[in-house]
Structure 1
Amino acid sequence: MLSGAEAVLALRAGGTAFVVEVCHPVPRVLHWGADLDAPADDLRLTAGPAVLNNSPDVPRVLSVWPSERDGWSGTPAQSGHAAGFGTTPRPELESHWTDVPPDGVGGRMFFRFVDEVSGLRSTVGYELDRFGVLAVTMSVERAAPGAAAYTLDGLVALLPVPERAVELLDFTGKWCRERAPQRAPFGFGTHLRSTRRGKPGHDSPYLLLAGTAAFGFGHGEVWAAHLAWSGEQRYLAERLPEGAGTFSAVIGAGESLRSGEVILAEGERYDAPTVLFVWSDAGTDGVADRLHRRLRARERHPRTPRPLVLNTWEAVYFDHDLDRLTDLVERAAEVGVERIVLDDGWFRGRREADAGLGDWFVDGDVWPDGLEPFVKVVRAHGMQFGLWFEPEMVNLDSDLARAHPDWVLGPRAGLGPTARRQYVLDIARPEAYDYLLARLDELVSAYSIDYLKWDHNRDLLEAVSEERPGVRRQTLALYRLLDELRKRHPGLEIETCSGGGGRVDLGILDRTDRVWASDCNDPVERAQIERWTRVLVPPELVGSHLGAARAHTTSRTTDLSFRLVASLTAHAGIEQDLTAADPATLARVAAWSALYREFRPLLHTGRVVNADVADDATALYGTVAQDGSRALFTWIRFQTSAAGQSGRVRFPGLDASARYRVTIREELGAASRHQAADPAWVAAGPIELSGAVLTVAGVPLPTLNPQQAMLFDIERIS
């Protein structure tokens, strides 16, 4: 376990290797990427780069704690100062240890340093799971007795990438258009994405990927980083003319700290959020597969079938009436709904969005007998009951704000403008935290609530508490609140929502069971949002709901069949007002519900795949069973395009040596075509085809009209 003599340490799993040379003063990274069938010492012998002209007179190093002392002129691992001094960290290796399982798959290595210049003790740890995901943790502790406090400006976990990583992919977005991908050449200089919203935000970088030229869903070598943190973020990719040791560039991430947010007095410690690094030689789908398998292996990952949900928001909004909601529940039961979530509008003073937040008491004017009559209706139909909250927010028009104006997060000089007509509650304040925990705990107990929809609708601006930056404290208080609530109610499930997809990260998913990917229920937008959400989050954790024909976020009108297909392949639910639906519509929704129950064992355990198609107006994506026995694919067209034919499109992830039966599933309605006739193999009905034709050669697909989709059920027969 403890080691001192080894010159080279390696962790290996899932075809991935991470190799470090133990040297002084700081160990250096020798390799991160594909596992190597080569003596580890060969990497050490070739780890010295050339000494360039007009450069330091010794070879530059990319250490596990990059600093200027190494000749590294890029972003350092650590930045900060002690009252203006100690700005050039010089960590010296004090000890290290490794822990590799007996089977040699994965393991951990940790390095501990002392730094006489900055007066800190620091630690960096690497843990490679059996799926090939490398988790990096960093910490610093103020150790110098009697010295000035150390202001930490940031810790960044950095790993090297080779010269063949020439393209970058990350994400941006806005409300109702989250996780919009953007590509750029990986040029010289720093590609920096940081957020200042008090949360990851709708424009979160989300995942930073560096890859070989034109890498796609299913091809190319990719190196990726994700910050598992629900506060402010910092992602970077950096290429210097002199390289990074023997490597070409680095990628990394860390918490984005406000000036003065972390000031370490003697004995105080800062633990940086975990950064996950993933290498794949199978494009972004390979990254997704590793991350999904990691998440599904968690002890608290949902194991029971993900129930079909009906959320009341788009059906009734603030119009809470027991008779109307009872009718809605009865219609929901007819179509197979298994969980009802009562959304915004149930608590005191909440008739519009400008009042009541913070007063988490059932409104007696709307619910004179409390929620019990409605809960009984839900339970009588064999359904679970869920309730909407927005605990971290407050309206000034609330009893809470009137009684405790100092609990509102903001500067003493006065609050800035509202956003969505609300402010932020300072939940790091012990009294506010205790109040929220008590109210949530009492309501969950009183109504035996199965499920909470936990919303967080606005950005945090001027997020200071007692004039100190408060985003980190706020985020840690949120984590404590969620952890304590789940400890008290072990069976409780929680959905994280932040104006839709404004807080989707693996930090919040350590404490919740579902993400609301977007407030946008327009299936044209939603299909794109969810496709990229699934690069990080497996489908069973992504809420995907059927909305009304006319989307209330975009005013676009779409066919029922398209809406049903688009909301089938994640954790399905309904927002549409079923009480206004005619019998024919209810019958098709019931058929969709049955199809969801048929396929959810596959959808919620299988491997997510995406075809690399030439026409961006179309997409083919699916889920393939881990044993390759069955797959469900969606062929979708978003808009018109110049091409009249698709050409041969390959269905990824199938076994080329197997034989399959392909069935077009049209229970939800046939997709409208922009053609005179289907390709002959489609028109033939259920057909048997070789895996080689389906996944290597490809097949021609129907030319659909815009905003149309169809389902391919593919089952292995030999």
Structure 2
Amino acid sequence: MNTKILSVTGKETELIVKVCEYVEILYWGCIINTKSEGAEYSLSRPIPYGRLDTDIPMTLHPELGRGLFSSPALEGHRNGKGWAPVFQTTNVKQGRKELTIYSEDKAAGLQLVTELRLDEFDVIKLRHKLINTADGIYSVNRLANTLPLPERANELLTYYGRWVNEFQQTRMRLTQGGYQQENRRGRTSHEHYPALIAGTQYFNETHGDVWGFHLAWSGNHRMRVDVKADGRRFMQAEAIYLPGEVALEKGDSIATPWLYATHSECGLNKMSQHFHQHVRSNILNNRLTKKARPIHLNTWEGIYFDHNPEYIMDMATESAKMGVERFIIDDGWFKGRCGDKAGLGDWYLDKSKYTKGLEGVIEHVNALGMEFGLWFEPEMINKDSDLYRSHPDWLLAMDNYEQPTGRNQYAIDLQNEDAFNYLFERLDYFLSKYNISYIKWDMNREIVQPGHDGYAAGHKQVEMYYRLVDKLTAKHPDVEIESCAAGGGRIDFEVLKRTHRFWASDNNDALERQQIQRGMSYFFPPEVMGSHIGAKHCHCTRRTHDINFRGLTALFGHMGIELDPVKESETEKQGFMKYIQLHKQLRPLLHSGDAIRLSTDDDAHLAHAVIATAQDKAVVLVAQLSMPTNSLSSTLRIPGLNKDKLYSISLLDYPENFHDIVNLQPLWTKEPVVASGEWLKKAGIAMPILDPESAILIGLKEA
């Protein structure tokens, strides 16, 4: 095939792609407006001694058979043969912002279709589809997406975590060797969220070249960044296939999950804005713009498994008084469910608790002006259930092994059509019979030995989960779904295509939530992040926080409440009402503006803001995580505003003892001060002195 140099451009980003017998990205960065013919030759590499005698490209599909001695994109074989394929490009179709590349290895009997898209928000989507074109089975061990990184990308930001401590971040230098994380827990996982960020050394929220990556897959995955011996770098992301899991008959195919990526020359905030805009327009498809995001009350931390319909209706009454717009009954409503050791799978109303049925509760909730939601955990089963006693073969398991339980439960084999149909029928029954507008869809355990008919089935289990949700939403398109997996264990772009909200963490501790929500904010806009005001005494950490800190922390997401409003004091109820009303007032801005994270001079502070797209107003949260390092708290600089506009700065909310803990707080906290956007970016405002574990809310509006 003749060599072609193709350009794919977004709003600010350009990909320059070399297409010949292979496809290689020569350049990925800001748009180059002035190019001369043949300029690509300036990037031709030298060939050193002591190596292969020809230049070996870093292609979109790296191949050992071509002489690239790094992680290949494909590992597989046909009964021991065809194990080192070398694909030759046969055709390229170019759209305005996309390339579709067709390649073939006739000797191995394989075809490869590569889709590369760059949207109007500068987000890349990449995936490969492998097709077996020859007789016999081709076994696939690995199939990965690969993107190059420039040599100046020498620092990584990666994620780690656990239950009630999701989205934690860490940094590492990238000089030699590389980085790899693997998740084999059967879901997206709390431990290894499938994303990472590479950048120039010391990149931060506003400075440095950064490249962000997210793999849209809800199961086992691998993320890696390698530095080759010659200094070149690349990023690779893939679903992990268990042994024997992918065996392609002639004509069969397997596709990688979509890899999403973007570049910013202005640090992490710009990267996040690319992802947020893409999510809003191209993943959510503006599904959340039809109405304001309803404020929740979820019953879990209020009553757990202790369900009394009359009392639940009292909870709903108190919730409505405070301004709640959606009332959700959590775990404990179905047959045999008095704790977490029994009942899962028996999706029938517990008539010993709900003696008069569910209709009266729902009608009461609706009469109060609230939507009604219900909790399900469809993929799971307790052995102490009628379902298991009738269908023990429905377990996702391997015969002759006893796998460990997780929260006293097991997973259902969704590849079993009878099991799949039963779950759909039960979900469909409730959504058809009752006025249910919302499902909290939970998944509380990790997957061990996912077996179907004795074969590994981890990958297929995830695909069948997608199919179950898709089938349900096709029949009930107006029902919204929350993705919860013991909190933040199943959060990714592929889930978001079929749901509306994530439960970021089971941890409602406002102090812990500050870091959890910050980590999540790099890839997701506020309106999809469930963020609740919990009880004063946190159930997860046993910490106590006042309503100011809890309320302001929950403000910057999809807000809700997680407690028993009947038992709360009038003072607490007034506090809930205050922050519910504040959220409603700011909700149009919070759920449409540009979310940015602010750099602070003291790690004891955490600050972030949402700026209206018209740059006429903004809100800023400053959280004091711990004792200030110094007696004064420096200045807060606020980028992102129109440098030529004047803004009135005022204090919208603050702790009860705000003016009592110092001789004098900054003057702007007592009366509005006017400053330009340029002043706020470069000079900033003096930070007040705050007690640990407290927060303030700053308002900015065009003067």
Q: Does 1:699 align with 2:685?
A: yes
| Counterpart-to-counterpart distance in 1, 2:88 and 2:266 | 38
In structure 2, the partner of 1:88 is 84
> Under a length normalisation based on structure 1, what TM-score does the superposition of the two structures give?
0.95
The number of residues matched between the two structures is 700
In structure 2, the partner of 1:124 is 114
Q: Is contact 2:650-2:668 (8 Å) kept?
A: no
In structure 2, the partner of 1:235 is 223
| Counterpart-to-counterpart distance in 1, 2:81 and 2:39 | 37
| Misfit runs of 4+, over 6 Å | none
Q: Does 1:644 align with 2:601?
A: no
The correspondence for 1:389, drawn from 370, 373, 376, is 376
Q: Is contact 2:655-2:696 (8 Å) kept?
A: no
Measured after TM superposition, the shift of residue 8 of structure 1 is: 0.9
Counterpart residue type for residue 57 of structure 1:
D
Listed as ranges, the gaps of 5+ residues in structure 1 are 101-106
| Counterpart-to-counterpart distance in 1, 2:151 and 2:574 | 56
| Counterpart-to-counterpart distance in 1, 2:194 and 2:659 | 35
| Matches for 1:427-446 after TM superposition, within 5 Å | 427-446=414-433
Alpha-carbon spacing, 1:359–1:166, altered in 2? closer, same or farther (3 Å): same
Measured after TM superposition, the shift of residue 6 of structure 1 is: 7.0
Q: Is contact 1:611-1:620 (8 Å) kept?
A: yes
Q: Does 1:689 align with 2:686?
A: no
| Matches for 1:326-345 after TM superposition, within 5 Å | 326-345=313-332
| Counterpart-to-counterpart distance in 2, 1:499 and 1:170 | 22
The correspondence for 2:451, drawn from 464, 467, 483, is 464
| Counterpart-to-counterpart distance in 1, 2:51 and 2:230 | 9
| Counterpart-to-counterpart distance in 1, 2:611 and 2:286 | 24
Once the two structures are superposed, residues 309-329 of structure 1 have per-residue CA deviations (whole angstroms, 9 ceiling, x without a partner) of 100111111111122111111
The correspondence for 1:538, drawn from 525, 535, 555, is 525
The correspondence for 2:162, drawn from 160, 170, 174, is 174
| Counterpart-to-counterpart distance in 1, 2:105 and 2:643 | 56
Q: Does 1:631 align with 2:618?
A: yes
Once the two structures are superposed, residues 331-387 of structure 1 have per-residue CA deviations (whole angstroms, 9 ceiling, x without a partner) of 111110000000000000000011000000000100112211110110110110000
The correspondence for 1:488, drawn from 475, 495, 502, is 475
Measured after TM superposition, the shift of residue 675 of structure 1 is: 3.3
Q: Does 1:407 align with 2:391?
A: no
Q: Does 1:656 align with 2:652?
A: no
| Counterpart-to-counterpart distance in 2, 1:58 and 1:451 | 59
Once the two structures are superposed, residues 662-704 of structure 1 have per-residue CA deviations (whole angstroms, 9 ceiling, x without a partner) of 1211388565775332123323x22222222212112211121
| Counterpart-to-counterpart distance in 2, 1:672 and 1:285 | 33
Listed as ranges, the gaps of 5+ residues in structure 2 are none
- SS of match in other structure, 1:449: coil
CA RMSD of the aligned region, Å? 1.5
| Matches for 1:35-54 after TM superposition, within 5 Å | 35-39=31-35, 41-54=37-50
Measured after TM superposition, the shift of residue 112 of structure 1 is: 0.7
In structure 2, the partner of 1:103 is none
Measured after TM superposition, the shift of residue 300 of structure 1 is: 5.1
Alpha-carbon spacing, 1:501–1:672, altered in 2? closer, same or farther (3 Å): farther
In structure 1, the partner of 2:172 is 184
Once the two structures are superposed, residues 544-566 of structure 1 have per-residue CA deviations (whole angstroms, 9 ceiling, x without a partner) of 00101111011111111111111
The correspondence for 1:296, drawn from 280, 305, 323, is 280
Alpha-carbon spacing, 1:249–1:412, altered in 2? closer, same or farther (3 Å): same
Once the two structures are superposed, residues 16-65 of structure 1 have per-residue CA deviations (whole angstroms, 9 ceiling, x without a partner) of 011111212x1222111211123274443123211112111011211222
Q: Is contact 1:409-1:465 (8 Å) kept?
A: yes
Q: Is contact 1:193-1:205 (8 Å) kept?
A: no
Measured after TM superposition, the shift of residue 508 of structure 1 is: 0.4
Q: Is contact 1:620-1:634 (8 Å) kept?
A: yes
Counterpart residue type for residue 203 of structure 1:
E
| Counterpart-to-counterpart distance in 2, 1:532 and 1:142 | 40
The correspondence for 2:551, drawn from 542, 547, 564, is 564
Counterpart residue type for residue 118 of structure 2:
L
- SS of match in other structure, 2:519: helix
In structure 2, the partner of 1:22 is 19
The correspondence for 2:498, drawn from 511, 523, 529, is 511
| Counterpart-to-counterpart distance in 1, 2:549 and 2:141 | 49
- SS of match in other structure, 1:573: strand
The correspondence for 2:7, drawn from 2, 5, 10, is 10
Counterpart residue type for residue 609 of structure 2:
G
Alpha-carbon spacing, 1:7–1:40, altered in 2? closer, same or farther (3 Å): farther
Q: Does 1:219 align with 2:215?
A: no
| Counterpart-to-counterpart distance in 2, 1:660 and 1:641 | 28
Q: Is contact 1:228-1:505 (8 Å) kept?
A: yes
Counterpart residue type for residue 226 of structure 2:
E
| Counterpart-to-counterpart distance in 1, 2:418 and 2:656 | 55
> Under a length normalisation based on structure 2, what TM-score does the superposition of the two structures give?
0.97
* Residue range with higher mean Cα deviation, 442-451 or 671-680: 671-680
| Counterpart-to-counterpart distance in 2, 1:616 and 1:469 | 46
Counterpart residue type for residue 640 of structure 1:
M
Once the two structures are superposed, residues 389-437 of structure 1 have per-residue CA deviations (whole angstroms, 9 ceiling, x without a partner) of 0001100001111100010111101221111100011112111110000
* Residue range with higher mean Cα deviation, 58-67 or 194-203: 58-67
Q: Is contact 2:533-2:554 (8 Å) kept?
A: yes
| Counterpart-to-counterpart distance in 1, 2:309 and 2:367 | 15
Q: Does 1:278 align with 2:275?
A: no
In structure 2, the partner of 1:138 is 128
In structure 1, the partner of 2:102 is 112
Q: Is contact 2:604-2:629 (8 Å) kept?
A: no
- SS of match in other structure, 2:481: strand
| Counterpart-to-counterpart distance in 1, 2:75 and 2:18 | 24
In structure 2, the partner of 1:355 is 342
| Counterpart-to-counterpart distance in 2, 1:111 and 1:525 | 45
The correspondence for 1:200, drawn from 188, 193, 204, is 188
* Residue range with higher mean Cα deviation, 270-279 or 644-653: 644-653
| Matches for 1:412-431 after TM superposition, within 5 Å | 412-431=399-418
| Counterpart-to-counterpart distance in 1, 2:561 and 2:686 | 33
Measured after TM superposition, the shift of residue 79 of structure 1 is: 1.2
Once the two structures are superposed, residues 154-173 of structure 1 have per-residue CA deviations (whole angstroms, 9 ceiling, x without a partner) of 11111111111110011000
Q: Is contact 1:591-1:668 (8 Å) kept?
A: no
Q: Does 1:365 align with 2:361?
A: no
In structure 2, the partner of 1:265 is 249
- SS of match in other structure, 1:170: strand
Measured after TM superposition, the shift of residue 585 of structure 1 is: 2.0
Q: Does 1:165 align with 2:131?
A: no
Q: Is contact 2:655-2:694 (8 Å) kept?
A: no
Counterpart residue type for residue 70 of structure 2:
G
Alpha-carbon spacing, 1:368–1:19, altered in 2? closer, same or farther (3 Å): same
Counterpart residue type for residue 582 of structure 2:
L
Counterpart residue type for residue 246 of structure 2:
V
